[in-house]
Amino acid sequence: RYLITGVVPAVFLVNKNELNGRKIPQTWEDLLSEEFEDSVAIPVGDLDLFNALILTIYREYGEDGISKLARSYMKNLHPAEMVKSRRKNNSNTPTVSIIPYFFTKMLDENSQVAVWPKDGAIISPIFMIAKKEKKKSLQAIVDFFMSPQIGNIFSANGKFPSTNKEIDNHLEENQKFKWIGWEFIEKHDMGSLLKKLEYKFNKEIIK
């Protein structure tokens, strides 16, 4: 019933002017460390990406991971605003912003660097949903959205990678993905879990 047509990868946008002697984070675990307390812009307003983020962090690190993510949280910005946060020594400027890979094409290479996490970019899948009993009548629509032509549009040279095996997403072998997976989804009440994790995150950031 669910078909993943493409994905939105989340990567790090690092403001080099705000590192203050810290090393550029290379993994999600780096980002959750005490070193980046109150330093990370998280896309709370982008529900799809935020949900993918907290679910994946929970799967990898448990509730302790959510607490650490809240500790790292600095502010909520739209990805385009994150890219524009370039002023040196600005206390309101995040050191690291979690943004869709697409927005890295806007970065200022003099002060910013995009990092694809070594342990994988957390992805928010782009789904197509179809009722099983209407599979035959919807097959033409499914075929259209899974065609190479549409796959190339989704991909945009790897910015929204397509799942179509005929598409070259222009990604390197080390640009891996991190996703919770179907088995995790099947074993959990996702609606309840998301409410629980969002509540914990929000409670932690106002401590």
How confident is the model over 84-104, as pLDDT tens digits?
554 444 457 899 999 999 888
How confident is the model over 25-36, as pLDDT tens digits?
999 999 999 999
**Percent with pLDDT over 90 in the chain:** 55
Measured between alpha carbons, how far is 116 from 9 in angstroms, rounded to an integer?
9
Measured between alpha carbons, how far is 49 from 95 in angstroms, rounded to an integer?
19
Measured between alpha carbons, how far is 164 from 160 in angstroms, rounded to an integer?
12
Task: Assess contact for 93 and 38: CB atoms under 8 A.
Answer: no
Q: What integer pLDDT is reported at residue 47 of this predicted model?
A: 85
DSSP state of 16: G
Burial call 174-195: b when 16+ CB within 10 Å, e when fewer = ebeebbbeeeeeeeeeeeebbe
Residue with tokens 């990898």: 60
Q: What integer pLDDT is reported at residue 116 of this predicted model?
A: 96
- Prediction pTM value: 0.84
How confident is the model over 123-146, as pLDDT tens digits?
999 877 766 666 677 778 778 877
Q: What integer pLDDT is reported at residue 78 of this predicted model?
A: 55
